Copies of this chain bind each other. A is one copy, B any other.
């Protein structure tokens, strides 16, 4: 029975190919840029419907972990995981349209911004009720195991969601049945305005893994290569039938809880400190030092990204809003 203490943080520069690193960089930058565009432009221009939550500073987590997914693996992201949608191949056009409430958005205007899901891409739509996705993802994994498939389920949550009963029930069910699932936690030190010490008496979410007899690992969530490596291990473990793991990524929310929150309750020094650990420059610097990328390539990458987003914004703006009567459609199965 695995009862190890949560592992120490480890940063690894192990043999990750240049190609993969570029891919990681691309998705992180794409994620950052889309969210910047949404929050800092479109939202302020009044073009976004509803509130906006971004994962600025946390891009390494979704990107460095979900990149390991096989096509038929399934993922249940949470509200700071834009990168996952991109990696799963949901188009930037549909995503921007989603945030603008258009008919061409991922949920056709039915649900809000990051509540995106599409079973064609094996992405389960987030419901607001935190940690509800834990039993649901466990159910996917249960079916995989039952049918002898080598598929895995990835389940994402923030530190705050861990307090919900559904987190406990879902993780317990998954560990009792040794299901092929990985529980990823982005621990960004806050749940809205509530700091960690008012959420849990333990120091680390990973300290809870022991309660379910699964491995718990703590990883620098701002080092995409560390995220990549730790995730690979946990996913492989799940795929090989060895059961669930808990992987905690230490990170920091570089914004307020949502666009309307100035995070006045967060000591400014923390932002400054974590700014230095921004995962994107960190990878860029590393790659440049290793001679794996040039500034010019980076600039080109960024340019390409901006073009992709420009195109998506235009496409979304030209997309129709849903018809009012669409309101009535799709509650029940229709032949």
With an 8 A cutoff between CB atoms, is A51 at the interface?
no
A210 touching B213 in the complex, CB below 8 Å, given contacts A165-B164, A202-B1: no
Q: Within 8 Å CB of A175, what residues of B?
A: 200-201
Q: How far does the alpha carbon of A273 sit from the alpha carbon of B5 in the complex, in Å?
A: 35
Question: 1/0 per position for A159-177, CB-CB distance to B under 8 A?
Answer: 0000111111100100110
Q: How far does the alpha carbon of A176 sit from the alpha carbon of B198 in the complex, in Å?
A: 6
Q: Within 8 Å CB of A172, what residues of B?
A: 163, 200-201
Tell me the smallest distance from the CB of A186 to a CB of chain B, in Å. 19
Contact B198 A202 (CB under 8 A): no
Q: Within 8 Å CB of A155, what residues of B?
A: none
Question: 1/0 per position for A164-201, CB-CB distance to B under 8 A?
Answer: 11111100100110100000000000000000011111
The CB with the most chain B CB atoms within 10 A, among A164, A201, A243, is that of A201
Count identical subunits in the complex: 2
Q: Within 8 Å CB of A168, what residues of B?
A: 163, 165, 167-169
The CB with the most chain B CB atoms within 10 A, among A175, A197, A210, A243, is that of A210
With an 8 A cutoff between CB atoms, is A8 at the interface?
no
With an 8 A cutoff between CB atoms, is A237 at the interface?
no
- 10 smallest A-B Cβ distances: which pairs? A165-B165, A168-B168, A211-B211, A201-B213, A175-B201, A208-B211, A202-B213, A165-B169, A210-B210, A176-B201
Contacts A165-B166, A165-B167, A165-B168 known; 9 new A-B pairs at CB < 8 A: A3-B5, A163-B172, A164-B169, A175-B200, A176-B199, A201-B243, A202-B211, A208-B211, A211-B211
Point out residues on A near B: beta carbons under 8 Å. Answer: 1, 3, 5, 163-169, 172, 175-176, 178, 197-203, 207-208, 210-214, 243
29 A-B interface contacts by CB (under 8 A): A1-B201, A1-B202, A1-B203, A3-B5, A163-B168, A163-B169, A163-B172, A164-B165, A164-B169, A165-B167, A165-B168, A172-B201, A175-B200, A175-B201, A176-B198, A176-B199, A176-B200, A176-B201, A178-B201, A200-B213, A201-B212, A201-B213, A202-B211, A202-B213, A207-B211, A207-B213, A208-B211, A210-B210, A210-B211
